[in-house]
Every structure is written in C-alpha cells, then in structure tokens.
Structure 1
C-alpha cells in the first residue's frame, strides 16, 4: 500500500508540472491584444492640393461675364476706279471723267472689359479709333450701344460708356505682384469666333522699348492672343483682372507664344484720370534723349549707361527755358539716376505739370545743377520727353 501511494503521488505531481508547462508555453495571447490595430502610415495629401487646381473653370466663370465683344463701324470714302484714272487719259481729259468717290463701310472687332456696373468698359484705343459706331455684345448675348468716354493714345487705352447700369463687373487684381511663371488666362473674341479662353504663364514683366506704345510696361505671356483679343482680359488663376491684352509679336499674323498685355495698375490709373478730367495729364520737358552707348561714352569721356545725352531741345519748351541744350548729359532727375532715355520719359510723365524737378548732369565735362518747371505733355508728341 505504501508503494502504491508513493507511485500515485509522484505521478500526480509530474502531471501537474506538465500541465503548468503546457499552460505557460502554449497558451494564446489575450483576445484584446489580437484586436489592437497596427498604426497605418500617414497618407500623402491629394495631388491637387499640393500642385495647384486641376481646372480653372471657377476663375473663368467669375471673369468671363465681364468680358465683352466690341464691334465697330466707320464710313470711308473710296475713290472709284475707271479707265480715265490712267495718267495717259488724265493728261488729255483731266478729272472730268473720273468716277465720284463711293462710301464704304469698314468694320472691325475687338474685346473689352467691364470695370464698373454703371457701364464703363476698358479696351484698347486701336480697337475703337475713328469709329462712327460702337456696339458691345455681352457673353449672355445682350447687345448695347457704346460711346467713347476718353482715350489715351500714348498707352493705347480707351474708356467706353454705355447707358446700362446693371452690368457684370470683373474683380481687379494686383498686376504689380505678378511673377514670372504665374498662370494667366486670356479671354477675348479672336477672329470673331466668339468668346474664347486660352491659358499660359507670365513669361516676363516690365517689357518696354518695343515700339508699340509711347509708354510701355508690358506683361509678356505665352497665352494665345490673336486678332480680336485686343482689349480683352488677362486674368490670374483666381479670376482677377491683371492686364489688358494689347499686342502680339508674330511673323505670320497669328499667335506665336509672345503676347503683351498692359498691367491693370497702369490701365486703372489711366481710366481714373479720363473719368476725372477727361484726359490723361502727364509731365513734359520738351527734349529728345539718346542712350549713351560704349562708343558714345568713349568719345564723351563718360561711363556707358551713366546718363542720357540730350539730342534735341524744343525751342520755348520747359527745358529750353531752364537753359538745357543739345549735347548736355543728364545724370539724375530728383536724385534718381538715369540709364536710358526711357527713364526720363517715365520719370517726367509722373510729375504733375507746374512742379519743378532738379536735374543734374554734365556740359563739356563740367557739372551743372538746374531747376526745371515741368509743363503738361502735349498730345500726339511721341518723340519728345
């Protein structure tokens, strides 16, 4: 009996030890640990949020209703042709048998931008120049008669007025904040096909001395601009007006990726002067300037780009009265250094007529310092400053 009891006891102890090991080594983890999720890696933001919008429809929908098509008409007299126009017959018969001149209706098209809800429209001067009749067509198809409120040929801008007072207007943006590479869209009526939108980027800013206008500070863009786009809107990606489409550089007459727009900051200033006083008032000296090239600088013993050579002075003009003469070199105006003749044009144009400016320079290699009273710039005088 004693042996049997010892055997049973030792077997029971061995079984309990084996059960403890089995429970310790092979039991599965608690259920709540199996259900704990592994943290997922952060998801990358959608491409549209980091790379810009995938559509500019919102910008176009905001600006397009304020862009109008402009149709103009003018009557010209065209001399009729006949056999007696030949110089041989004119020698014997003179003008007695020449056919009388005939009236001919000439039409053209362009674009414009509604700036105010009471009917003022901004466009290019060359779009409406010499027109006898002007009509504007809204994107909705509504047609209105318009008249010229004022023009500024020096910047190729014009302001039209309609009698409507419930027109959609465009939001004016900041053209001075534009940077090369910014997305822009051109809205207009190219070739008369109807309102069209093209997209590009700002290729350059501050373009001047192109020979297009007297005062130039163009935005260059590769957004397609074609005949009929003139006077239309150049907008940014938010639908804000940043420029007035004006011209293209092209050898074929079509868009080749080099278009120019007048910055809205310049256009707005011109428009405000036209509406306030009927014209744009600019300062004027009555001189013609010439850039100092390296060759010219060597002959005058000057540094190239160190000023502007006066090549002509209008008799009786402000500069003539102050004592300036051809051959003088102007180095600064109101302590602002000059590098080319275009600098004089812009600096003096911004001075109100009647104000005086301080001009420093050299005459026969001797310095001079003069006070000149600025006059109002006369119309149609693109060569003088």
Structure 2
C-alpha cells in the first residue's frame, strides 16, 4: 500500500502525532467537516469542478524552471517548481479554493482563517470572492506591519482583516484569535486552516489539496530530465507546501526529501522557529506535534524573518516523517535566507518570498557540497509582499 493511503489513520494520527483535541462545542462541527470531505472530496462532481478551477482560474499546471545561473554558481543542477506563478502568488490557493468549494457544498456562507505572511489570507480572500462568500482574516500586528501589500490585497478582495495585538502578535496568536472567533460562528462558517496543521481532518485535507504540486512536479521533472531528482526540498513552517511536493515523491526511495526551517537569528529559544531541530512532542491548537516550548511546557516565543514560518509547532505529518527518518530537516538562518533572496532575484530574475528563500538557501548550500546532484525545490511563493520590508531594512545590494 502506498504511503499516502496508509497515513493518517481514521482518527487522524500519523504515528504518535495528530488527532483532534477540541472544545466540546466544536466536536460536532469538525466531525461534519470530516464527513463532508470523505463524501465530497473524492466524488467526481467535486473533483471535476476543482480541476476546472485549477486549470481555468488558478492557471495550473505551474511550470518547473531550470535555474541555469544558480546551477552554474553552485555546481549542482537546481530546478524550481514555480508556485510563485500560481494565481495570487503562492501555493496557498491550491487548498483555499478546495476548502471554499467544500464549504459551499456544506452550505456555509463565510470563511474564517489566520494568516502569517498574508499569502493564505490573500488566497482565502480570493476564494471567498470567487464563490461569493464572506471572509474574515486574523493577522498579528507585527505581520500586518511587515506584510502591508498583502493586507491591502485582502481588503481589496473584500475580506475583513482582524488585527491581533496580544502575546507575540504573530502567527500563533492569529490562530488563537481565529479559533476564538470561529467558536461563535461555526454553524455558518468554515475555519479554513492554512496549513497541514490543526485538528483532524485538516492535516489530511490540506495535504491532499496540495498534492497537485507533487503530482505535476514529478511528471514535469521526468519530462525535462528523464529521471527523478536526487533531492527535493521545500521551506517549512506549518508545512503545506512541503507536503504538497513531498507527496509526489514519498514512495520513491531513491529521492531524498528535505524540509527547510528557520534558524532565525540564533539557537536560543525565541531567536528561531526551528521546531524540527529543537522541538519536543507537545500539543498546540488541538493536535499533537513536535513543538518549541518553554520550561512550563507552553508554546515558546519564536522568530523568523519570514512571517509565514513564524510558528512554534509544525504539521503532525512532518513530526512523523522526522521521527521515522523518511525526511531530512535542515535549519537556515535569516542571513542565509537574505543572501538567497538577493541571489535568486539578481541571477534568475525571480524575486522569491522570504519563506521560499529558505529552500533556495538550502539548495545553494547543498549544491556546493554535492556538485552534480539534481535538486528540485518548491518555490512556494513570490516576494512582492516582502520587497518593501527587505528594501527598508536591508537595502538593495544584498550581502
């Protein structure tokens, strides 16, 4: 049996990680979502409508591009799966359109979500506009300041953006705030979780909806190169873009899979968001995963230059893949990320999201250490949202 058929089990567990730990008032709502997904998500009518949206609205398939100049500099052959060319600028629309379609079939009239870098918020606002639904996006005040272009986009698309000013004022608190709002609106709204995190069935659903990346990338790489890549890599916060591309290669034992997380400014707690490197088993937002926690066991403060990776937990499937050894996880610093951001911009004419630049940085480092290997990375989003922040704080010249 293939890996994707085996995991998760019917209770939403990937080994020891996952599950659904919910307040009593949400148990019936999540059970309804699970039933709807199992019934609708594999039906011909749902899938045909989703395929139409993917092709005629999102602009899929997105291409795989050969990074010729970056390859020449590193000595490895580096290829990019161009999710930055997906409509709205990132991979997030893959699951947002599908979640909104599911909500429509369930009779919901509103979509609620959290966002960090704003890409999930923009994608969900886009989906809400497409389906004629209300949209409410919760976003930390720090991220609102860093990602102003995406805040403007969400508002232009008709979404209500709710600033979150408590705690660290970042992604974790945005999730807390969105969950609290959803409690009072669950009958008419769907909480469209933005990654492979949260209570079951969201880690399963979002992985399945993002698997279009891996399906396309595998076929495209074989057509371009004639064989599978040696290495596949993707940045890692919650982990949706990574699970999307990993799903296409996870049964191929000869392909090494690599998740790239933020080392931030250092190794001390609060300076990074490197959950796979420093985390321990714990619970956050209704599921079990590897978690960065303080001495009392509570989710720890975290940091990343990339707002979309600024989360103390990680998807339960990634936690399982780490402990099982199937996927290798690496930590990349803010400085390495910025260097990759500038290099991809200057050498390939592609401005990446800071999140995606983590994967580019890892590919450059691995390529120099392993010349001749073929490396496919998921360029999960474009950097329009980051250009003002980078220019204002770091200038135009790079390192």
TM-score normalised over the length of structure 2: 0.24
Greater percentage in strand: 1
Rg larger in structure: 1
TM-score normalised over the length of structure 1: 0.25
Greater percentage in helix: 2
